[in-house]
A and B are shown apart, each in its own frame.
Chain A
């Protein structure tokens, strides 16, 4: 236990837990939110400690974990018959793992920029939920009190990261709805052949994403939701795919193969 650990409140009975959440749902004031946060913030510290390692600030992990707790509170369904602690544990842990995925690389860049990147990513998600749509860059900048350029820089930094291990993990993951059936979109026969040839150049995951994107017409966000990753991850994957295709799609080579 570290000096900054919050005190351990008394464990709630299932009835008391339900009452706490029902009060917040019917009267979503800051006061009622804080009651829930203070009841469960120690859970955040416990999980953050589990993942704390050299080179990573405990404060950063707690900050990310608190965002996970906030998300869990917003998403928790009282009627699913699951205790909040069980549900929140998964969400908080997921946020911390995503932090490592999205921002750990930034230890090579100045700490201030790393922190800004993290704040921008979190605020984007939070604002998106509040607005019910993706925020504009202006809205995001204003919410953060940053200039447009500072926000853009942080987002660009985020998009420069390539997490190889996550790719391997996702390769094995089955895709839910969508998956693409060639011919379901209006390709000409030549384009259909070309498209299939293109897909052969990609990894299974890249192919899944490109088919969902091009054939099923899903947005980056929709694909991200299906695969359980961030929209930024899909954006990065698309860029990587295009890097591969740019090399491969040389007209002379295609002509040789009879594809043009």
Chain B
């Protein structure tokens, strides 16, 4: 899992805040295997969970689902949240992302208006790299 080549994962969650705990557990399980510390995992859960909730709060449940794409690169873990229906707007003017970006110590949280996506990137932990 921590080998040299990049791997990708994609999950889809319904537009519902009730899936937050399931998402946070998924983050823990995955990040745990990548060698992140408990505090780093807390940050990942915070950033990804809040980005998910922000999208959910701006989406019509009829849209269907939120797509969450994970790229396990050699040096970083990149998580992209998007609404495939493209109905989420004003991403870059959602100040919650600015707050989130400042809160996470090692990673970055970037809303991409053009793509209708929120991208979260964290460096891979030194301890977990093989």
> Residues of A at under 8 Å CB distance from B?
124, 133-138, 140-141, 148-149, 151-153, 155-156, 159-160, 191, 194, 198, 213-214, 219-221, 231-232, 235, 238-239, 242, 245-246, 249, 251, 254, 260
Contact = CB atoms under 8 A, between A and B. Distances in A.
A187 to B, nearest CB: 9
B25 A231 contact: no
Contacts of A151: 32
Nearest to A151: B32
Given A133-B37, A220-B39, A249 B95 contact: yes
B35 interface: yes
B32 A137 contact: yes
B contact patch SS: helix
Interface of B: 21, 24-25, 28-29, 31-33, 35-42, 45-46, 49-50, 53-54, 57, 90, 93-96, 98-100, 102-103, 105, 125, 127-128
Contact of A152 (B25, B50, B105): B25
Contacts of A133: 37
Contacts of A138: 32-33, 35, 128
B29 A152 contact: yes
B37 A135 contact: yes
B28 A156 contact: yes
B39 A156 contact: no
Contacts, number: 104
Q: Which of A152, A249, A254: most chain B CB closer than 10 A? A: A152
A220 B42 contact: yes
Contact of A136 (B36, B102, B105): B36
B19 to A, nearest CB: 14
Contacts of A148: 28-29, 32-33
A258 to B, nearest CB: 14
A213 B43 CA distance: 12
A231 B42 CA distance: 10
Lowest 6 A-B CB distances belong to which pairs?
A137-B32, A152-B28, A134-B37, A148-B32, A134-B39, A251-B93
Contact of A135 (B38, B100, B105): B38
B103 A238 contact: yes
Given A137-B32, A152-B28, A235-B42, A254 B95 contact: yes
Contact of A251 (B25, B33, B94): B94
B25 A153 contact: yes
Contact of B25 (A136, A156, A249, A254): A156
Contacts of A219: 39, 105
A245 B96 contact: yes
Contacts of B41: 137, 152, 155
A189 to B, nearest CB: 14
A140 B94 CA distance: 36
8 contacts: A149-B29, A152-B32, A235-B42, A246-B57, A249-B96, A249-B99, A251-B94, A251-B95
Given A159-B42, A238-B103, A249-B99, 7 more contacts: A138-B128, A141-B32, A148-B33, A232-B42, A245-B96, A251-B90, A254-B93
Q: Which of B57, B93, B95, B98: most chain A CB closer than 10 A? A: B95
Contact of B99 (A160, A221, A239, A242): A242
Nearest to B57: A246
B99 A137 contact: no
A221 to B, nearest CB: 6
A99 to B, nearest CB: 19
